Structure 1
Amino acid sequence: MKPQQTDAYTLILDAIDSGVYKPGDRLVESDLAERLGVSRTPIREALQRLETQSLLTRDGRSLIVSSLDHNQLAELYVVRAELEGLAANLAARHATDEEVRVLRDMVEDDKKLLGDPKAMSRANRRFHKQIHLASHNRFLVQQLDLVHRSMALLATTSLAAVGRDEAALAEHDAIVTAIENRDSNAAGEALRAHISKAFVTRLKLDSGEVGSTV
């Protein structure tokens, strides 16, 4: 793959992930080329790739950022919980001492970000990515990358719910403790429970049952 093509794809994906482009937004080839400083050919190829991955949806002749309905959201969280749980299970068995130390440091450092949903969301992605890598299973990492690309289609983070950031950080602490203890079953269960609670919070946010800090 040409480097410029990869850059165009990554730039657009990052823009979706960071909320520059939200579900329902229309992506125009010429506008993207100008905004991202990339020629139109790699932009066109990147848009085709994103459409193939269902991150973009065709609306007539235009492409818009896809959105997830309730069933798709539920399906995504089921897959995410199982794959993330497996990653934590494997990390408890295969992570190096240095990788475990990094996870512990992440939990401690993230305490400074409480009350900042956007910063916590970025830190949360880094934390989960570190667990994926610590599983030392490249095929699992690839599948989780696909799942997390789809997570970019969610317009808000569950960490925006009042009190969710503190609870999530406590859950991260429990996951790391299980990995530190090399308890693979406990690590997997802790991470699956963490994803389940995040899903419940998201459903409550979407229904307006809980308040948001943003």
Structure 2
Amino acid sequence: MGLSKLYPRVYIIQNIVQGFDVKAADTAYEKLFHAIEIGEIGPGERLLEIELAKRFGVSRTPIREAIRKLESEGIIQHLPRVGAVVRQLEQPEIVELYEMRIVLEATAAEMAAQHASSAELATLDALNSDMLGASDDPNTVAQINRQFHLCIVEAARNQFLTHCYNDLSNALMLLGKTTLDTKQRIDHVYTQHADIVTALRKRDGSTAANAMKNHMETSLTHRLKAYREHS
């Protein structure tokens, strides 16, 4: 007879405790991930367990587990005599990241021109309009922008491309706060997005890819400008 049958109450309690720990760790991970994603906790910023535990309303153990997981994903690193910090990209790494992003997203746009459904095209239009309407809230604009790009990747109907993009998204978090922080910049992005969607609707893969490439190159220019201003 197994121990679970001999001591059922002990195993039930143990499972409840384990379940609570897992839930708390997941909550801590999601909250810390989101704080880094939207730039509330920026690149190079030190992560203190006791402060994060207080901030997110959990104990230090789930925070420690969340930090370990984010470290395994390359988002957090440990520095000697400093401790855990959000990884900070240098300028050559930012350029490399965008070079990869251009390849992936231009390919996604070209493939989406063949496969995107009418519903997905309508979603892209709606997201672009929503982004313009949220221009007074940079964090919301950035979130909608991410949804827009992910929608195109998913419309490409290629699971390997989607997996690569998801991996790349973690690296994009290390760029820090969004550069979509002025009305002029958002208006420009809105126009570029509209050009991409127009090409997708015409099923013109080459034009869609070029429009995405131009969009990413513009984004890189603004990102490098922000990097220089804060270096």
Aligned counterpart, 2:95? 74
1:129 equivalent in structure 2: 150
- Which of the numbers 190, 204, 207 marks the counterpart of 1:183? 204
CA contact (8 A) 1:110 1:120 kept: yes
- What 5-or-longer segments of structure 1 have no aligned partner? 209-214
Q: 1:133 to 1:5 in 2, by over 3 A?
A: farther
**Number of residue pairs matched?**
208
Of the structure 1 ranges 155-164 and 22-31, higher mean CA displacement relative to structure 2 is found in 155-164
Which secondary structure state, in structure 2, belongs to the residue aligned with residue 68 of structure 1?
coil
Is 1:139 the counterpart of 2:160? The answer is yes
Gaps of 5+ in 2: 1-21
Deviation at residue 3 of structure 1 after TM alignment: 4.9
Alignment correspondent of 1:11: 31
User: Whole-Å Cα distance in 1 between the matches of residues 54 and 162 of structure 2?
Assistant: 33
Q: What is the aligned partner in structure 1 of residue 180 from structure 2?
A: 159
Pairwise CA RMSD: 2.2
Question: 2: distance between equivalents of 1:56 and 1:109?
Answer: 32
1:64-86, Cα deviation, whole Å (9 max, x unpaired): 11111011101111111111112
Runs of 4+ in 1 over 4 A off after TM superposition: none
Rg (Cα) greater in structure: 2
**Are the counterparts in 2 of residues 80 and 147 from structure 1 also a CA contact under 8 Å?**
yes
Moved more, 7-16 or 155-164: 155-164
1:82-125 CA-to-partner distances (Å, cap 9, x unmatched) read 11112112211111111111112222333323454333222211
85, 96, 108: which one pairs with 1:64?
A: 85
1:106 to 112, 127, 135: 127
1:174 matched to which residue of 2? 195
Q: Tell me if 1:44 matches 2:64.
A: yes
> 1:212 corresponds to which residue?
none
Instruction: Give the distance between the partners of 1:45 and 1:75, measured in 2 at CA.
Output: 30
Deviation at 1:162, TM superposition (A): 6.8
| Aligned residue type for 1:97 | S
After superposition, residues 196-207 of structure 1 pair within 5 angstroms as: 196-207=217-228
Residue aligned with 1:152, SS: helix
**C-alpha distance in 1 between matches for 2:53 and 2:135:** 36
Distance of aligned partners of 1:40 and 1:117 in 2 relative to their CA distance in 1, 3 Å threshold: closer
User: Taking every aligned residue pair, what percent have the same amino acid on both sides?
Assistant: 35
Amino acid at match of 1:31: E
State the distance in 2 between where 1:92 and 1:5 align: 40
Contact 2:108/2:156 (8 A) holds in 1: yes
Task: Work out the CA distance in 1 between the residues paired with 2:158 and 2:49.
Answer: 36
Task: Confirm or deny: 8 A CA contact 2:135 2:183 kept in the other structure.
Answer: no
